[in-house]
Amino acid sequence: MTLAPAQVAQIDAALVKASADSQTLASIRQLAPGLMVTRCDALDMREETPFRIYENCSLYLVDGRDHCWKITQDPGCATGIALAPNGGAA
């Protein structure tokens, strides 16, 4: 499964003011069933480019189609989503 444009719009709306907490992760899982959704430490993502940056968190798209996972900017290649709080630790 990958992210459709409508799902990206729904995720955008859900993350406008949200934090990278368990309630938000559960909400995103409902919007993108079949995709891996996880939270990570902002420091672990410091060398990656977020797909979107919101007030309280950043969204990274994960491409896990090959042996190694990588961050992607293409929703059509995304097999997962990672959220990181803006700044500090998760």
**Any idea where the domains of the chain sit in the sequence?**
5-85
Q: What is the largest CA-CA distance in the chain?
A: 34
Percent of the chain residues past pLDDT 70, beyond the cut: 94
* Predicted local confidence at residue 53, as pLDDT: 95
- How far, CA to CA in Å, does 78 sit from each of 35, 55, 72? 8, 22, 7
* Predicted local confidence at residue 90, as pLDDT: 44
* Predicted local confidence at residue 87, as pLDDT: 66
Summarize pLDDT for 37-48 with one digit per residue, the tens: 999 999 999 999
Q: What integer is the mean pLDDT of 44-60? A: 95
* Predicted local confidence at residue 80, as pLDDT: 93
Summarize pLDDT for 61-90 with one digit per residue, the tens: 999 888 888 999 999 999 999 999 996 544
